[in-house]
Structure 1
Protein backbone atom coordinates (compact mmCIF):
# COMPACT_ATOMS: atom_id res chain seq x y z
CA UNK A 1 0.00 0.00 0.00
CA UNK A 2 1.69 3.22 -1.16
CA UNK A 3 1.43 6.75 0.06
CA UNK A 4 -0.99 9.17 -1.51
CA UNK A 5 0.42 12.04 -3.53
CA UNK A 6 -0.36 14.49 -0.71
CA UNK A 7 1.13 12.35 2.07
CA UNK A 8 4.50 13.80 3.08
CA UNK A 9 5.36 11.05 5.52
CA UNK A 10 5.24 13.52 8.42
CA UNK A 11 2.61 11.41 10.15
CA UNK A 12 4.87 8.37 10.04
CA UNK A 13 7.83 10.37 11.32
CA UNK A 14 5.77 11.83 14.15
CA UNK A 15 4.38 8.42 15.12
CA UNK A 16 7.86 6.90 15.10
CA UNK A 17 9.23 9.76 17.20
CA UNK A 18 6.38 9.52 19.71
CA UNK A 19 6.91 5.77 20.06
CA UNK A 20 10.24 6.46 21.76
CA UNK A 21 8.56 8.29 24.63
CA UNK A 22 8.61 11.89 25.79
CA UNK A 23 12.38 12.08 26.31
CA UNK A 24 13.07 10.86 22.77
CA UNK A 25 10.42 13.19 21.39
CA UNK A 26 12.06 16.19 23.07
CA UNK A 27 15.45 15.14 21.68
CA UNK A 28 14.13 14.84 18.12
CA UNK A 29 12.22 18.11 18.49
CA UNK A 30 15.55 19.76 19.33
CA UNK A 31 16.99 18.37 16.07
CA UNK A 32 14.04 19.68 14.03
CA UNK A 33 14.14 23.07 15.77
CA UNK A 34 17.86 23.45 15.21
CA UNK A 35 17.51 22.56 11.53
CA UNK A 36 14.76 25.13 11.11
CA UNK A 37 16.74 27.80 12.93
CA UNK A 38 19.82 27.19 10.80
CA UNK A 39 17.91 27.31 7.52
CA UNK A 40 16.19 30.53 8.58
CA UNK A 41 19.50 32.16 9.55
CA UNK A 42 21.19 31.05 6.31
CA UNK A 43 18.34 32.40 4.19
CA UNK A 44 18.63 35.74 5.93
CA UNK A 45 22.37 35.81 5.28
CA UNK A 46 21.80 34.83 1.65
CA UNK A 47 19.47 37.81 1.23
CA UNK A 48 21.98 40.15 2.84
CA UNK A 49 24.69 38.86 0.53
CA UNK A 50 22.46 39.38 -2.48
CA UNK A 51 21.92 43.01 -1.43
CA UNK A 52 25.68 43.46 -1.01
CA UNK A 53 26.31 41.95 -4.44
CA UNK A 54 23.80 44.29 -6.06
CA UNK A 55 25.52 47.26 -4.41
CA UNK A 56 28.95 46.36 -5.85
CA UNK A 57 30.41 48.95 -8.22
CA UNK A 58 33.33 46.92 -9.60
CA UNK A 59 34.04 43.29 -10.45
CA UNK A 60 36.70 43.27 -7.69
CA UNK A 61 34.08 44.25 -5.08
CA UNK A 62 31.78 41.51 -6.37
CA UNK A 63 34.55 38.91 -6.13
CA UNK A 64 35.31 40.02 -2.56
CA UNK A 65 31.64 39.71 -1.52
CA UNK A 66 31.35 36.30 -3.19
CA UNK A 67 34.56 35.01 -1.60
CA UNK A 68 33.44 36.10 1.87
CA UNK A 69 30.00 34.58 1.29
CA UNK A 70 31.38 31.18 0.26
CA UNK A 71 33.93 31.04 3.06
CA UNK A 72 31.35 31.98 5.69
CA UNK A 73 28.72 29.60 4.28
CA UNK A 74 31.12 26.65 4.15
CA UNK A 75 32.29 27.28 7.71
CA UNK A 76 28.71 27.54 8.96
CA UNK A 77 27.54 24.43 7.12
CA UNK A 78 30.46 22.39 8.45
CA UNK A 79 29.86 23.58 12.01
CA UNK A 80 26.10 22.96 11.72
CA UNK A 81 26.61 19.46 10.31
CA UNK A 82 28.76 18.56 13.32
CA UNK A 83 26.22 20.09 15.70
CA UNK A 84 23.29 18.24 14.08
CA UNK A 85 25.27 15.00 14.13
CA UNK A 86 25.73 15.43 17.87
CA UNK A 87 22.04 16.22 18.43
CA UNK A 88 20.92 13.30 16.26
CA UNK A 89 23.27 10.91 18.04
CA UNK A 90 21.78 11.92 21.39
CA UNK A 91 18.24 11.65 20.01
CA UNK A 92 18.91 8.21 18.56
CA UNK A 93 20.48 7.05 21.81
CA UNK A 94 17.48 8.33 23.75
CA UNK A 95 15.03 6.68 21.33
CA UNK A 96 16.81 3.34 21.52
CA UNK A 97 16.99 3.50 25.31
CA UNK A 98 13.28 4.26 25.56
CA UNK A 99 12.35 1.60 23.01
CA UNK A 100 14.38 -0.99 24.87
CA UNK A 101 12.64 -0.31 28.17
CA UNK A 102 9.20 -0.14 26.61
CA UNK A 103 9.45 -3.57 24.99
CA UNK A 104 11.80 -5.44 27.29
CA UNK A 105 10.53 -8.50 29.07
CA UNK A 106 11.60 -10.19 32.22
CA UNK A 107 12.64 -13.83 32.21
CA UNK A 108 9.92 -14.74 34.68
CA UNK A 109 7.07 -13.70 32.39
CA UNK A 110 7.85 -16.16 29.57
CA UNK A 111 5.46 -19.12 29.61
CA UNK A 112 7.01 -22.57 29.50
Structure 2
Protein backbone atom coordinates (compact mmCIF):
# COMPACT_ATOMS: atom_id res chain seq x y z
CA UNK A 1 0.00 0.00 0.00
CA UNK A 2 1.20 3.49 -0.81
CA UNK A 3 2.59 5.45 2.15
CA UNK A 4 0.15 8.39 1.91
CA UNK A 5 -2.87 6.09 1.67
CA UNK A 6 -1.68 4.20 4.73
CA UNK A 7 -1.23 7.44 6.71
CA UNK A 8 -4.71 8.61 5.74
CA UNK A 9 -6.24 5.25 6.64
CA UNK A 10 -4.59 5.20 10.06
CA UNK A 11 -5.70 8.78 10.76
CA UNK A 12 -9.29 7.99 9.77
CA UNK A 13 -9.31 5.00 12.13
CA UNK A 14 -8.04 7.18 14.98
CA UNK A 15 -10.64 9.80 14.06
CA UNK A 16 -13.55 7.34 14.26
CA UNK A 17 -12.32 6.10 17.63
CA UNK A 18 -12.23 9.64 18.96
CA UNK A 19 -15.63 10.53 17.51
CA UNK A 20 -17.25 7.55 19.23
CA UNK A 21 -16.51 9.20 22.57
CA UNK A 22 -16.72 12.93 21.79
CA UNK A 23 -19.91 14.69 20.68
CA UNK A 24 -20.76 18.35 20.72
CA UNK A 25 -24.04 19.43 22.27
CA UNK A 26 -25.52 22.91 22.68
CA UNK A 27 -24.15 23.34 26.22
CA UNK A 28 -20.71 21.96 25.35
CA UNK A 29 -19.97 22.06 21.61
CA UNK A 30 -17.03 20.32 19.95
CA UNK A 31 -13.90 22.20 18.87
CA UNK A 32 -12.42 20.30 15.95
CA UNK A 33 -9.02 20.98 14.40
CA UNK A 34 -7.75 20.25 10.90
CA UNK A 35 -4.20 20.90 9.83
CA UNK A 36 -2.83 20.80 6.34
CA UNK A 37 0.72 21.42 5.22
CA UNK A 38 0.06 25.12 4.62
CA UNK A 39 -2.77 26.07 7.00
CA UNK A 40 -4.65 25.19 10.18
CA UNK A 41 -8.42 25.31 10.64
CA UNK A 42 -10.68 25.20 13.72
CA UNK A 43 -14.45 24.83 13.97
CA UNK A 44 -16.89 24.81 16.86
CA UNK A 45 -19.68 22.35 16.03
CA UNK A 46 -23.02 21.37 17.55
CA UNK A 47 -23.40 17.72 16.52
CA UNK A 48 -27.04 17.40 17.57
CA UNK A 49 -28.10 20.08 15.08
CA UNK A 50 -25.34 19.24 12.61
CA UNK A 51 -24.33 22.91 12.48
CA UNK A 52 -21.02 24.72 12.57
CA UNK A 53 -21.35 27.51 15.11
CA UNK A 54 -18.00 29.25 14.55
CA UNK A 55 -14.90 28.78 12.47
CA UNK A 56 -11.44 30.29 12.24
CA UNK A 57 -8.42 29.49 10.13
CA UNK A 58 -5.03 30.78 9.17
CA UNK A 59 -6.54 31.58 5.76
CA UNK A 60 -9.32 33.79 7.16
CA UNK A 61 -6.89 35.45 9.60
CA UNK A 62 -4.68 36.28 6.60
CA UNK A 63 -1.56 34.87 8.22
CA UNK A 64 1.26 34.64 5.70
CA UNK A 65 2.70 31.26 6.67
CA UNK A 66 -0.23 29.38 8.16
CA UNK A 67 1.69 26.14 8.60
CA UNK A 68 3.60 27.00 11.76
CA UNK A 69 3.05 27.12 15.52
CA UNK A 70 2.61 30.91 15.61
CA UNK A 71 -0.27 30.68 13.15
CA UNK A 72 -1.86 27.91 15.24
CA UNK A 73 -1.65 30.11 18.35
CA UNK A 74 -3.29 32.99 16.48
CA UNK A 75 -6.14 30.74 15.26
CA UNK A 76 -6.63 29.31 18.77
CA UNK A 77 -6.86 32.78 20.28
CA UNK A 78 -9.27 33.95 17.55
CA UNK A 79 -11.64 30.98 17.91
CA UNK A 80 -11.66 31.37 21.71
CA UNK A 81 -12.45 35.09 21.52
CA UNK A 82 -15.26 34.44 19.03
CA UNK A 83 -16.62 31.66 21.25
CA UNK A 84 -16.61 33.89 24.32
CA UNK A 85 -18.46 36.57 22.34
CA UNK A 86 -21.05 33.95 21.32
CA UNK A 87 -21.50 32.89 24.97
CA UNK A 88 -19.63 29.58 24.76
CA UNK A 89 -17.57 28.90 27.89
CA UNK A 90 -16.62 25.22 27.68
CA UNK A 91 -16.02 22.90 24.75
CA UNK A 92 -15.05 19.31 23.99
CA UNK A 93 -11.72 19.22 22.13
CA UNK A 94 -11.49 16.99 19.06
CA UNK A 95 -7.98 16.60 17.68
CA UNK A 96 -9.46 14.91 14.60
CA UNK A 97 -7.01 12.00 14.51
CA UNK A 98 -3.91 14.18 14.67
CA UNK A 99 -1.32 13.76 17.40
CA UNK A 100 -1.69 16.20 20.31
CA UNK A 101 1.64 17.74 19.45
CA UNK A 102 3.05 20.80 17.73
CA UNK A 103 0.45 22.93 15.96
CA UNK A 104 -2.56 21.07 17.38
CA UNK A 105 -1.24 21.50 20.93
CA UNK A 106 -0.38 25.16 20.29
CA UNK A 107 -3.92 25.87 19.10
CA UNK A 108 -5.42 24.12 22.15
CA UNK A 109 -3.13 25.92 24.60
CA UNK A 110 -3.89 29.32 23.03
CA UNK A 111 -7.63 28.63 23.24
CA UNK A 112 -7.28 27.69 26.92
CA UNK A 113 -5.27 30.84 27.67
CA UNK A 114 -7.93 32.94 25.94
CA UNK A 115 -10.56 31.55 28.31
CA UNK A 116 -12.12 28.38 26.88
CA UNK A 117 -12.51 25.47 29.29
CA UNK A 118 -11.78 21.91 28.19
**Which structure carries more strand by proportion?**
2
Report the TM-score, using the length of structure 1 for normalisation: 0.25
Which has the bigger relative contact order, CA under 8 A and spacing at least 6? 1
Report the TM-score, using the length of structure 2 for normalisation: 0.24
**Which structure carries more helix by proportion?**
1
